[in-house]
């Protein structure tokens, strides 16, 4: 009797461990941010006429599609993840999940997300989601070992979620959709490069080349980060300029942009890891703050 109870407890622990490993595999925080940005685009486009049931299914589809893409990313980079401190404890390098299990899991997520997007959105949303999926999983992933062009390619699927949200509600790619795509596209560069600066030693072990120019943590790279952050200032005003939002959000976007930009000047002066970390954390704060401000101030 006692032995049977112990066996059941051990079996329960194994199941919970496996579920936890799959949850870790989809990088839920990243997938949630994809869903958040997608939901932002959907609500912004809908004005005051949100179909909440469609909205929920759309966000679920976005999370699952993102989870499938990042799972494939980890499958293809399993051997490289073993070389890096920040990734060596992921489910695939530690063999908590096998490659075969990961492929099956990714395919299941892709099928379910595709079904949801086809049924609850429209053909254009589904088609763009597939393009984003392919660019991230099969183009951006191998390009990381080729050169900084990977950051440009990766910025496209990284910036598509708000556009997808807009298209999911309206069924069209309008100039408004391109504006919110453009803001998130430009934001990707200081965000990616700050992370690449901090993780440079790890990335070099795996052969990843993500920093711009000569790939060094120097003044030139800091200037590149500053220039793209500077572009966020005029881009942040476009929603108000074209009537998507009002002046309140324009002011918030400007203040956030100036504060974000100020961090880059510190990096240009000292080329330090601490300054790069401030930029990285600043990027994490900048995007959700201005997106929430746009939603609160939508016309």
For residue 66, what pLDDT is reported?
Answer: 95
Token pair in block for residue 237: 């005003």
- pLDDT value for 16: 86
pLDDT at 287: 96
Structural domain boundaries in the chain: 1-150, 174-299
Query: What averages of pLDDT result for each successive group of 10 residues across the chain (299 residues)?
Result: 58 78 91 94 88 94 96 96 93 95 97 97 96 96 94 96 96 96 97 96 93 92 97 97 94 97 96 96 96 91
Residue 90: name the closest of 39, 21, 147, 29 by CA. 21
pTM of the model: 0.93
Among the listed residues 267, 187, 260, the one whose alpha carbon sits nearest the alpha carbon of residue 219: 267
Q: What is the pLDDT of residue 164?
A: 97
- Predicted confidence at residue 50, as pLDDT, reads 86
Q: Which fold has domain 1-150?
A: Tetracycline Repressor; domain 2 (1.10.357)
**Distance between CA 108 and CA 98 in Å, rounded?**
15
Q: H helices within the chain, ranges in order?
A: 2-25, 28-46, 52-76, 78-81, 99-120, 123-134, 141-143, 149-170, 175-198, 200-206, 219-241, 247-270, 273-296
Question: What pLDDT score does 6 carry?
Answer: 57
What pLDDT, on a 0 to 100 scale, did the predictor assign at position 298? Answer: 85
């Amino acid at each position: 009797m006692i032995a049977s109870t112990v066996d059941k407890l051990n079996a329960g622990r194994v199941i919970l461990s496996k579920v936890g490993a799959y949850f870790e595999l989809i990088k839920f925080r990243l997938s949630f941010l994809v869903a958040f940005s997608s939901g932002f685009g959907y609500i912004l486009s809908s004005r005051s006429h949100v179909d909440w049931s469609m909205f929920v299914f759309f966000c679920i589809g976005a999370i699952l599609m993102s989870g499938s893409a990042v799972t494939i990313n980890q499958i293809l980079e399993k051997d490289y993840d073993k070389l890096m401190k920040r990734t060596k404890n992921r489910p695939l390098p530690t063999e908590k999940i096998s490659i075969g299990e990961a492929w099956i899991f990714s395919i299941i997520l892709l099928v379910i997300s595709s079904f949801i997007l086809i049924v609850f959105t429209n053909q254009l949303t589904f088609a763009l989601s597939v393009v984003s999926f392919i660019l991230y999983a099969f183009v951006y992933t191998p390009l990381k070992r080729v050169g900084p062009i990977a950051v440009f390619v990766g910025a496209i699927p990284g910036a598509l979620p708000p556009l997808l949200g807009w298209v999911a509600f309206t069924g069209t790619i309008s100039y408004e959709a391109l504006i919110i795509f453009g803001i998130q596209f430009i934001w990707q560069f200081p965000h990616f490069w700050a992370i690449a600066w901090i993780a440079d030693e790890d990335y070099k072990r795996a052969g990843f080349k993500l920093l711009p120019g000569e790939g060094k943590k120097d003044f030139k790279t800091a200037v590149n980060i500053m220039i793209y952050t500077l572009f966020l200032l005029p881009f942040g005003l476009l929603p108000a300029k074209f009537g998507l939002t009002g002046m309140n959000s324009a002011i918030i976007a400007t203040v956030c942009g100036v504060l974000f930009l100020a961090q880059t000047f510190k990096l240009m002066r000292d080329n330090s890891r601490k300054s790069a970390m401030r930029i990285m954390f600043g990027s994490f704060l900048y995007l959700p703050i201005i997106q929430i401000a746009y939603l609160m101030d939508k016309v």
